[in-house]
Amino acid sequence: MFNRENKSILWKTDNFQHLVETMAPLSGFNNYKRREIYRSLVYNAIETMPSSLQDTLTMHYLQGLGIGEIARRCGIHRTTVTRRLALAKRKIQQLLILFENSSSFPS
């Protein structure tokens, strides 16, 4: 569901931008260069996740589906969907914070 072919479409969606803004430390959006770095980091973080996390994030944030609908489509419990979203968000946030704290981050 989440593949390189959809990357150009994905990056143009308001939902993806919302995901980036939700995940990124607030200080990260004070200039265009930082915002683009965050977008790239979030995309790459998602790309390295297991497909179950990718699909859950895609359905929730990019397709706008609710927890119940994702659970129904995937044949899993609502709690599993919630856990997958929390795990994926935590992984993205950890990466962004690590990068934010690195000395190579542009100001």
Q: What pLDDT shows up at residue 6?
A: 60
Q: What pLDDT shows up at residue 29?
A: 54
The amino acid present at 41, given as its one-letter code, is L
Residue range of the domain that includes 50: 4-101
3-state secondary structure of 93: helix
Q: What mean pLDDT do residues 76-105 have?
A: 85
Name the domain count of the chain: 1
Residue 106 placed within a domain: no
Residue 55 placed within a domain: yes
Please report, for the domain that includes residue 66, its CATH number: 1.10.10.10
Digit-coded pLDDT (tens) for 48-84: 889 899 889 888 888 889 999 999 999 999 999 999 9
pLDDT tops 80 at residue 5: no
88 vs 7, 23, 33, 47, CA distance in Å? Answer: 18, 10, 24, 11
Residue 107 placed within a domain: no
Residue 35 placed within a domain: yes
Residue 91 placed within a domain: yes
